[in-house]
A and B are shown apart, each in its own frame.
Chain A
């Protein structure tokens, strides 16, 4: 999936995360800040990379401000951000599981 425009998803509230994805010519750049970065940084990054790979996103800038979100919240927010950035409105739900 190609990121066509910048998009936001999520909030800065506790148990959530705020995501900004932007198109770019360069390979993926992922910046993550989290209150639990030492404990869960690797895990968050792994989830983010997995979701992006699954959606076929290979270029772009992904900036994440995590507020202690659950894994399922990270998936949902990132998918929402990518869909918005790609201008995609029809979902393949089975592929998003």
Chain B
């Protein structure tokens, strides 16, 4: 039998505390429970944190009537973890993280992510979280599995193609337009091999399955290209959560660096990627900022980061004097203006819009 790591007296003391404590943990839906939400806000304020919108559930802990700790869950990202100073450093924090993991599991999320200041990373390491990437002195992104990113990169390595210039495009393609086709074609021409990733997260009308299918259809004829499924590790809620809130105007406080460093440190080395290609962005502020940040976080020296890459911006292709954009296609779709879409998207996209999405939009309206 294994002996206890602590002395008897110590563990007796600890057990005494553990067994005598009267702390209650439970789950709260902040949208439905006014009193709980009020108390959570108060606790967060006391701990110097902001109540983030979009948190679907909290695990809270009360000592008698007093709310002493909370941890929020936004899909698979843990947010707003706060514990009153008197309750820190003990079993409470560990129970809190255990409970939030069970909560996530019951909601169908397995791997969890957390953003934390580097000084708090050690706490989460003790809770089964592993470092994914650090934006020096600012924030660390962690996941609660030791094999997540490792096995993902191992999968990627199977698709590695050796060459002097290996490119990458990450596309949302919402939906796939002539603009995407042009960008991918140009990038492929410049490289020995091109890796194309489809963003996995769904935030608009078009499902990932459909976007992936359209990419498959629309890249035919490009010989030096591998199409990859998207993942949690790239432009996802986990790596880049604010991107998906852009409709709400939250752009400023985004951790684009985290997403880009994930790419630089893990994905690019796995595939030997040397260049990342991106279309110029005349319309969308978030995407434009992302492009700009790309230059910083992929090209410049960053402490502890992987080898630098080259970022290549390719000007958008135009139709009728205007840059083609997916958002324009979506606008026409919502207006029921299928004729104007025809010139902006390849035939496969046009067909799918006509047969599936026009009826969908009409049904929705």
Contact = CB atoms under 8 A, between A and B. Distances in A.
A and B touch in the complex (CB under 8 A): yes
Interface string B89-112: 001001101100110010000100
A96 B1 CA distance: 18
Contacts of A10: 98
A6 B110 contact: yes
Interface residues of A, number: 26
Nearest to A74: B2
Interface string B1-31: 1101110000100100010000000000000
A67 B102 CA distance: 18
Nearest to B5: A68
A76 interface: no
A63 B150 CA distance: 14
B252 interface: no
A18 B101 contact: yes
A22 B147 CA distance: 12
Nearest to A63: B145
A82 to B, nearest CB: 15
B215 to A, nearest CB: 26
A15 B11 CA distance: 9
Contacts of A6: 105, 110
Interface string A1-43: 0000011101111110010101000000101010110001001
A81 B95 CA distance: 18
B91 A8 contact: no
B110 A13 contact: no
B146 interface: yes
A53 interface: no
A13 B94 contact: yes
A29 B146 CA distance: 11
A52 interface: no
Counting chain B residues whose Cβ lies within 8 A of the other chain, the interface size class is: 20 to 34
Interface string A40-84: 100100000000000000000101010110110000000000000
A11 B95 contact: yes
A32 B93 CA distance: 21
B127 interface: yes
Nearest to B98: A11
A14 B94 contact: yes
B91 A14 contact: yes
Interface string B66-101: 000000000000000000000000010011011001
Interface string B120-151: 00000011100000000000000001110000
Contacts of B101: 8, 18
Nearest to B93: A12
A56 to B, nearest CB: 23
Contacts of B146: 31, 33, 63
Contacts of B11: 15
Contact of B145 (A20, A68, A71): A20
Contacts of A61: 147
B4 A68 contact: yes
Interface of A: 6-8, 10-15, 18, 20, 22, 29, 31, 33, 35-36, 40, 43, 61, 63, 65, 67-68, 70-71
Interface of B: 1-2, 4-6, 11, 14, 18, 91, 94-95, 97-98, 101-102, 105, 110, 126-128, 145-147
23 contacts: A6-B105, A8-B105, A12-B94, A12-B95, A12-B126, A12-B128, A13-B91, A13-B94, A15-B11, A18-B98, A20-B110, A22-B110, A31-B146, A31-B147, A35-B126, A36-B2, A63-B128, A63-B145, A63-B146, A65-B128, A67-B94, A68-B4, A68-B6
